[in-house]
Structures are given as structure tokens and as C-alpha cells.
Amino acid sequence: MPHHPTADAAPAPRPAPEPFGARLHRSVEARGRLCVGIDPHASLLTAWGLDDDVAGLERFTRTVVEALADRVAVLKPQSAFFERFGSRGVAVLERAVADARAAGALVLMDAKRGDIGSTMAAYADAYLSPDSPLFSDAVTVSPYLGFGSLRPAVDAARAAGCGLFALALTSNPEGASVQRAVGADGLPVAAAVLRRLAEENAGARPLGSFGAVVGATLADPGVDLEINGPLLAPGVGAQGATPADLPRVFGPAVRSVLPSVSRDVLRHGPGVGPLREAAARLVDEVRAALGTDG
């Protein structure tokens, strides 16, 4: 007799999602080693001939996504520039995230969230839950309430196949007073953050999903950057760093670097063609500087 499953049979478990680190590695190999920020500064909107309002925000964002989402590895919207317009601005961000991911770009939400307990879990739900309209491939987080405070985000990211980028050594001068301070364990705070990230990435191949933010403008990081995970390197372009600086700053860990640029690409708008050309030039410059195919 044929077998008929009962009505209350448990559904088959979903396959585990592919980890962010593996997806990032594949995207960089296919599209080049570059993250482009979507940072709709008021000054950039003006430079594009747009008003500093929701309509200008939407036009700017849609143009960047149209120009780059089908060809760069990662797009990084800065949440603050959307939040400043309230719910209508967040709606523009939601659409941008969905459209960019549909076109094949990985989306790194630059939100730098950090809190404890249920509040951190709520932030994780906002950006790392597949049911959220802001669901992104990764999100930036702040570990300066203690790395353990990030546990809800770490767990949510792992479950959804997403990633985190924790602030470690940022390029702003004020960061050093905290990040280079020596903790009770005798390590600089940034080194302790990097060590915890390495622990989360242990055994991951080809790349872990838990990355660090390390400024490309640093003269000397002074810590071990080998975390078996990606190193987001802001500061290339308008902030003064060049792709040629990356091997000096990152040393042997440079193979895991994801350079991040914003204004050096965005200033070429509003034309789609010039935006694409600017991003392609930077991909080529990074490839030449690192001597890799990625």
C-alpha cells in the first residue's frame, strides 16, 4: 500500500545556509576585491543636483544600486543617512537592500550597533533575520560594551549564514584612546577583539564570517590581524589611503582585506557609466597592489 504522510508530520528541516565568509570569498573572486559605500551625504546630493530630501535620497540610492549592484562584490549602505529622513528614508533603505541583493551584490549594513541582552538581540533581528525588510548579508557592530555583548548577533549571524564586522582599529584619531588601551589581560583592547573574532572563525574555510574593521589609514596597527576572517578597510580614497598602502598596513593579512570606498566612487555620479568606470578602476588598482586575481 502507498504510504501517505499524516497531516501532522513534521516538515523537512531546511538546509543550513551557506556561511557569509564562503559567499564573500566567491563574490570577491568573481567581481574583484571592493566594497562601495552608499553614503548619501547632503553635500553629495547637492553635487548630484538633487535636493536634500526623500526624493533626492531615493534618486541617489537607486542610481548607485543600478550602477553597481550587478558588478561590485559588496555594497555598504550607511544607515544613518537614511534614518535622518525618518520612516520614509528607512523605506528607501529597505528597497535598496532588496534590489542590491537581487542583483547579486552582498549587502553590508553599516549600522555599528552595540548593546546588551534583549536589545542586542533586537538589533540582530532587524538586520540578520531573513524575515526582516532590512535583512542584510552582514552588519557592522561595536564590541565596546564587551565582546560578549555581541553574542546575540553572533548567534543570529551564524544561524542565517550572515556575517559581522566588529570595530577593532578605526581610523578616527579619537578611537585610539579606547582601542589601544591595555586591558586587564595585558592586551590592547583591539587585540582582544581580534582574538575573539579569530576564535569565532576557527576552522572556517575558505574564510570565516566574523570580520573586523581596521582603518586603511593607520600608520602601524601594532596587533596581529590574522583572524581567518575578512578585514574591512575603510579610508581608501577621500580619507587619504591608496590601494598601494594596503600591503604595508595589513602585512600577511592583506589577502583577507576588503577595501571600502565611498566618495571616491560616488563623486563621479550622477551618471551610471562614470560610477561604473570609477569602481572598475579601483578594482584594478587593488588587484595590482595586492598582486592577486581577486
Catalytic residues, by residue number, are: 112
One-letter amino acid identity for 122?
Answer: A
Q: How far apart are CA 61 and CA 78, in angstroms?
A: 11
**DSSP letter for each residue of 92-138:** HHHHHHHHHHHTT-EEEEEEEE---HHHHHHHHHHHH-TTSTT--SE
In whole angstroms, how far apart are CA 67 and each of 43, 49, 63, 131, 265? 20, 18, 6, 27, 11
For residue 72, give the amino acid letter: V
Nearest Cα neighbor of 264 from 254, 279, 249 is: 279
Q: List all residues 6 or more positions away from 80 whose beta carbon is below 8 Å from its beta carbon.
A: none
What are the respective helix, strand and coil percentages of the chain, to the nearest 5? 45, 15, 40
